[in-house]
Chain A
């Protein structure tokens, strides 16, 4: 799986959009970009994933650059409950060998300030 690089921590004001960057310059053509988050003392929670096109769901938007070497997770109106560690994970669409787990990097600790 391609390696990802994320800032260690970020601050964002409550009510503003939180933009979390992720670099994945060695991504290959069949690898997806996934985002999970982990609120303190809880298990990770799936947010969104994409391959090439930008994606949006009820939680967030995912913007992937045209060359797919980086992406940005956008939380449009951040709340205090969005304070968490956000993990960007790049993984093959299908490993072909059965089930596979996720390889987590260090993630970004996002702190939403009141």
Chain B
């Protein structure tokens, strides 16, 4: 029944070592989002894909990139993780991206940077 799947739930990486987080969806939704949630803070949107069109938030660091090879999968790449990038990373989907639509979130991947 899982609709938005994120693996792994916990990821440990080393300072400066590239890391990729994965998200897949079974909803066939057009839009996929990535949010970053630091400890005791609210989720913050990093970027989203509308189909194959990538949309970056203005304040998302260049260190963060994303790929969407097909409708079902979306990846978050952190090129050179710093200690400040330790956070929960949440993937979400919506059908067409209209704000009145529900967004469906995955369980998140908690990233630890050593």
Contacts and interface: CB of A to CB of B under 8 A. Distances in A.
Partners in one complex: yes
A43 B92 contact: yes
A92 B99 contact: yes
Contact of B99 (A43, A91, A104): A91
Contact count band on B: 20 to 34
Interface residues of A, number: 26
A108 B4 CA distance: 25
B98 to A, nearest CB: 5
B108 interface: yes
Given A43-B92, A44-B105, A46-B104, A104 B97 contact: no
A94 B103 CA distance: 14
A100 B102 contact: no
Given A43-B107, A43-B108, A107-B42, A101 B100 contact: no
Interface in B36-72: 42-45, 48, 50, 53, 55, 57
A100 B106 CA distance: 17
A106 interface: yes
Contact of B94 (A87, A93, A94, A99): A99
A44 B33 contact: no
A34 to B, nearest CB: 8
A42 B107 contact: yes
Interface of A: 32, 36, 38, 41-46, 49, 87, 91-95, 98-107
5 contacts: A95-B98, A99-B98, A103-B45, A104-B42, A106-B42
